[in-house]
Each structure stands twice: as structure tokens, then as C-alpha cells.
Amino acid sequence: MSEPVLQIRSLSVDYPTRAGLVRAADDVNLTVFRGEVLGLVGESGCGKSTLGMAILRLLRPPGKIVGGEIVFDGNDLLKLDDEEMRQLRGARISMIFQDPMTCLNPLQRVSEHVVETIRTHQPEVSEEEARKQAAELIDRLGIRTERMDDYPHQLSGGMRQRVMIGLALALNADLIIADEPTTSLDVIVEAQFLDLLRDLQRQFNLTIMLITHNIGVVAELADRVAVMYAGKLVELAEVFPLFNDPLHPYTQGLLKSVPNIRLTEDHLQIMDGSPPDLINPPPGCKFHPRCSHAMERCRAEEPPLRKMQSGRWTACWLFE
């Protein structure tokens, strides 16, 4: 494996709510290596987006990082001051958001977005030079350069999402966090978008943390997959072993619930139950109320994420 770009160590994020404390990320340990695509999957509300926003330190209030470290390039991001963190965002770590319809300023042209992003981080670059770079970037994304002075509403959803990638790539960030980048695109645009993302990833050896609930997207792009459930990482493996032989019962259930055109309908299994209430999480393993293999121990003790002999990681007492 190559060098790590980002190391998350025992990260915990709390959302104090009126009803009680929600621990959206609980003691998460995760390393992202240079040049890889790490898929982070899980159901809605499992804390995967929280994790992404926590890395950029842009959690919405009342969300708060209550413990752990996020080591990026040898520095703990949680110890940087606001200005240092701001300089890092966009330049070293950037983000692609879920909804391309609303993530561009409706009153700013596409070119202005790119020029502004470049000039924010490289004030020495002249307006014209930045505009030239913007044109190249837009061309590279497969958008005709005569569209660069359009307003976001004049572009299609797919084009806007490509512009978002462009913004994330504009300064050759070391890490790109893509939070559900294809969720609001239709399947054809999604396929084109994934192709583009893969091409760019190979071409520039990008490091991408791909947050999604879409197993298909992960299978398409990711090198490794981390599965998250109720704020905890429950399994971490290379993409093929994980798909062929999921270890954690939750991962098994997740994969079974993906429709497959080659199988008949009765093979599609929907997991029983629903994700736990994070204000009053179940004791022991948080998955045990929905787990068909649940044992006495699962109800009492929480399994840690441990490395298997195969080099995979899982958090389940079945593999003790």
C-alpha cells in the first residue's frame, strides 16, 4: 500500500439534541491511502456524511467532534486554527456534494466559480490566467468552453455535477470527499459521471473518499470499502473480497438487499427491523436486534473492529 493521506483515529461526533445525545460517529478508525478510492457505505443516518463533514470541520451545529484525531499530512486537523483549516479546504481537501442543482451559486457564472476558487487559494494568479485554467478545466470535464460563462441554471444536472468535480479538482486536492455524488442523477447521467470520475481518478491518481448508500456505485469505483452502521465501522475490506464474501451479518444483509437483474425476485431480501435509535442505542453490538446470528455475548458486549487473518477488518463476535 502507498502512504496514508488521511488517518482518522478514534473519532467521535456528537449531536446534542433536545431529546438526548446522538453519537453520530463512534470511535471511528479509518485510513485513506494515496491514489485509492475508499467507499464508505451505510444506510441513511448511519453517520457517513457526518464523518465527511467532520473531516472538513464543517459539521452543522450542534454537531461537535468530541474526541479523536484526524491526521492529514502529518497534522491533526482538529488542532489547526480556523484560518489554517480554511486554507486547507478546497486546496488540499475538497468536497463534492450530493445535489448539483443547489450547490452552485445561482448568481455566479460557472467560470466565476472556478476563477474564485483558484484565486482564493492562489491570489498571485491573475484573473486572466485563472480564466485560462478554468477554460482548460471545463474542457477536460467534457463541457464545451463556450458554456463556461453560463449561469448554473442554464446547465443540466450532470453538467453541474461535473462543474462540482472541476471545482474540487481545480487545485489538485490530495483528498476528495464525494458525498453521495450521484444520488440525484438519473442512471445514464450517473454512468457518464462515474466514467468521468474514474478516468480523472486514474489520470491524476486522485484519492477519493466516496460516501454513498449505493452499493453499485461502490462496486464500480472503489478499491476498498468501509461499511458503517449506527455510527460505527463494522467492516473494512478490499472491494472484491467484500462483495464475494461479506463477513459481517450487516454487510451480508446490505448486499442481499441490492436488486440484481440476474436473480429472480425471491432472492431479494430486505433486512428486518430498522436502524437503531441513536439516542438510546441497544447495548452490546448495535446490530444485534436485527441480526439472525445474535448470541448472548452480542447483547452485552460491543465487538471491536479487529483485523482478520485474511487482512480484512470486521467488528463481530462471530469471528472471535
Partner 1 sequence: MQSTATIPEPTSLLGRFLRGRKWYGAEWYMTVIGGFIVVFIVILTLISFFTPGLSPYNPEKRAGEPFTPPSWAHIFGTDQLGRDIFSRIIYGAQIVLQVALLSAVFSLVVGVPLGLVSGFLGGRMDRVLSLIMDSIYSFPGLILAIALAALLGAGVLNMSIAIAVVYVPIFFRLVRGQVLSIKEELYVEAARSLGARGWTILWRYIFPNVIPSIVVVFSLNIADAIITEAGLAFIGLGVDPSRPDWGYDIYRGRSELVGGRWWPVTFPGLAIASVALGFSMFGEGLSEILNPRLTES
Binding site for partner 1 (CB under 8 A): 56, 58, 86-91, 94-95, 97, 99, 102-108, 111, 116-117, 120-121, 131-132, 135-140, 145-146, 148-149, 151, 153-154, 164, 167-168
User: What's the closest the beta carbon of residue 203 comes to partner 1, in angstroms?
Assistant: 10
Specify the residue, 169 or 255, whose C-beta has the smaller distance to partner 1. Answer: 169
DSSP 274: -
**Contact (Cβ atoms closer than 8 angstroms) between residue 86 and residue 245:** no
At residue 289, the 3 state secondary structure works out as helix
Specify the residue, 7 or 133, whose C-beta has the smaller distance to partner 1. Answer: 133
Specify the residue, 41 or 170, whose C-beta has the smaller distance to partner 1. Answer: 170
Specify the residue, 73 or 301, whose C-beta has the smaller distance to partner 1. Answer: 73
User: What's the closest the beta carbon of residue 210 comes to partner 1, in angstroms?
Assistant: 16
- For residue 261, how many C-alpha atoms fall within 13 Å in the half-sphere facing its CB? 1
User: What's the closest the beta carbon of residue 21 comes to partner 1, in angstroms?
Assistant: 23
User: What's the closest the beta carbon of residue 250 comes to partner 1, in angstroms?
Assistant: 30
**Contact (Cβ atoms closer than 8 angstroms) between residue 207 and residue 213:** no
Specify the residue, 77 or 239, whose C-beta has the smaller distance to partner 1. Answer: 77
Closest CA to 183 of 164, 206, 207: 164
Specify the residue, 58 or 308, whose C-beta has the smaller distance to partner 1. Answer: 58
Angle at 64 (CA atoms; ends 207, 10), nearest 5 degrees: 55
Q: Going by C-beta distance under 8 Å and a sequence separation of 6 or more, which residues neighbour residue 31? A: 4, 6, 7, 8
Specify the residue, 103 or 294, whose C-beta has the smaller distance to partner 1. Answer: 103
User: What's the closest the beta carbon of residue 195 comes to partner 1, in angstroms?
Assistant: 18
User: What's the closest the beta carbon of residue 99 comes to partner 1, in angstroms?
Assistant: 6
CA–CA separation, 308 and 263 (whole Å): 31
For residue 170, give Cα distances in angstroms to 84, 140, 142, 306, 320: 19, 11, 15, 38, 46
Sign of CA dihedral 236, 237, 240, 241: negative
Question: What's the Rg (C-alpha) of the chain?
Answer: 20
Buried b (16+ CB within 10 A) or exposed e, 159-177: bbbbbbbbbbbbbebbbbb
User: Could you tell me the end-to-end alpha-carbon distance of the chain, in angstroms, rounded to an integer?
Assistant: 27
Specify the residue, 140 or 198, whose C-beta has the smaller distance to partner 1. Answer: 140
User: What's the closest the beta carbon of residue 88 comes to partner 1, in angstroms?
Assistant: 7
Specify the residue, 111 or 212, whose C-beta has the smaller distance to partner 1. Answer: 111
User: What's the closest the beta carbon of residue 128 comes to partner 1, in angstroms?
Assistant: 9
- SS3 assignment for 74-142: CEEHHHCCHHHHHHHECCCEEEECCCCCCCCCCCCCHHHHHHHHHHHHCCCCCHHHHHHHHHHHHHHCC
Instruction: Provide the residue count of the chain.
Output: 320
User: What's the closest the beta carbon of residue 183 comes to partner 1, in angstroms?
Assistant: 13
